[in-house]
Amino acid sequence: MFRHGSRFLSRASTMRWRRPFSTDLPAEAYKDSNFVEAWRKAIPTVEPPSTPSAFMATRPATPSSIPSKLTVNFVLPYSSELSGKEVDMVIIPATTGQMGVLPGHVATIAELKPGILSIHEGNDVSKYFVSGGFAYVHANSFADIIAVEAVPLDLIDPNLVQKGLTDFTQKLSTASTDVEKAEAQIGVDVHSALNAALTG
């Protein structure tokens, strides 16, 4: 097996194929010509419907130099907190740890854990407590942050957080079924993160 290794290595070094990055692909809107053609053959009297890609905005091109600002979209299921806001930096509570995102950050997808989302704009810092979600950082210095729930940190009552932590800790110790234990553990995790956000 090892005697053929040099042949495989020389073949691999001469191969020119590589998978393109998403930033290498054209930014124009995608049109599914095969679908439209098949539709017109099957039902020529009816206009083909728009596919989901027809409703998507075209992706901004990746800049040749790093921009000075990071463009942030921060959305919840019921509202949009920030839309196209240009900021200096965002600190995300990722499951792998706190993640700072500056303009020119490498493209990344991160799962959010309960914690503080900090949005830095000059000397102003906006802090939100997020319960979970995902952050999508694009190579063109855009970041999309999707949270399940988010509350500005200054609107959180420390007394209610302490009471909730005590209640869920007690529920966890008295839980008898797996479902009750899981619900209580989630409550303890969220209230512990809230407490740490308020005290730290």
| Cβ-based neighbours of 55, under 8 Å, separated by 6 or more | none
**144 and 189 share a domain?**
no
- Give the CATH number of the domain where residue 110 resides: 2.60.15.10
**71 and 114 share a domain?**
yes
Task: Using DSSP bridges, classify how beta strands 150-152 and 97-101 pair: parallel, antiparallel or unpaired.
Answer: unpaired
**66 and 141 share a domain?**
yes
In terms of Cβ atoms closer than 10 Å to its own Cβ (0-12, 13-18, 19+), residue 108 is middle
User: What's the farthest any 2 CA atoms get from each other in the chain?
Assistant: 71
**74 and 42 share a domain?**
no
**145 and 66 share a domain?**
yes
**107 and 176 share a domain?**
no
pLDDT of res. 26: 52
Contact 92, 99 (CB under 8 A): yes
Instruction: Determine the length of the chain.
Output: 200
Contact 109, 145 (CB under 8 A): no
pLDDT of res. 79: 87
**48 and 126 share a domain?**
no
> How confident is residue 118, by pLDDT bands cut at 50, 70 and 90?
very high
Regarding predicted confidence, which is higher, 107 or 64? 107
For the entire predicted model, the pTM comes to 0.65
pLDDT of res. 109: 93
**104 and 142 share a domain?**
yes
Contact 153, 127 (CB under 8 A): yes
> How confident is residue 89, by pLDDT bands cut at 50, 70 and 90?
very high
pLDDT of res. 12: 47
Average pLDDT over residues 67-90: 91
Whole-angstrom CA distances from 57 to 27, 31, 52, 73, 132 are 10, 13, 11, 14, 26
**31 and 114 share a domain?**
no
pLDDT of res. 39: 84
pLDDT of res. 121: 93
Average pLDDT over residues 104-110: 91
Judge whether residue 120 has pLDDT over 70: yes
Q: Which domain holds residue 21?
A: 5-53
Encode pLDDT of 139-156 as tens digits.
888 999 999 999 998 888
Judge whether residue 111 has pLDDT over 90: yes
Number of domains in the chain: 3
> Could you tell me how far CA 179 lies from the centroid of its own chain?
28
Judge whether residue 136 has pLDDT over 90: yes
Query: 83: which 2 tokens?
Result: 């839309």
**76 and 119 share a domain?**
yes
Average pLDDT over residues 42-51: 83
> Could you tell me how far CA 150 lies from the centroid of its own chain?
14
Comparing CA positions, the residue from 51, 57, 56, 22 lying closest to residue 34 is 51
**170 and 88 share a domain?**
no
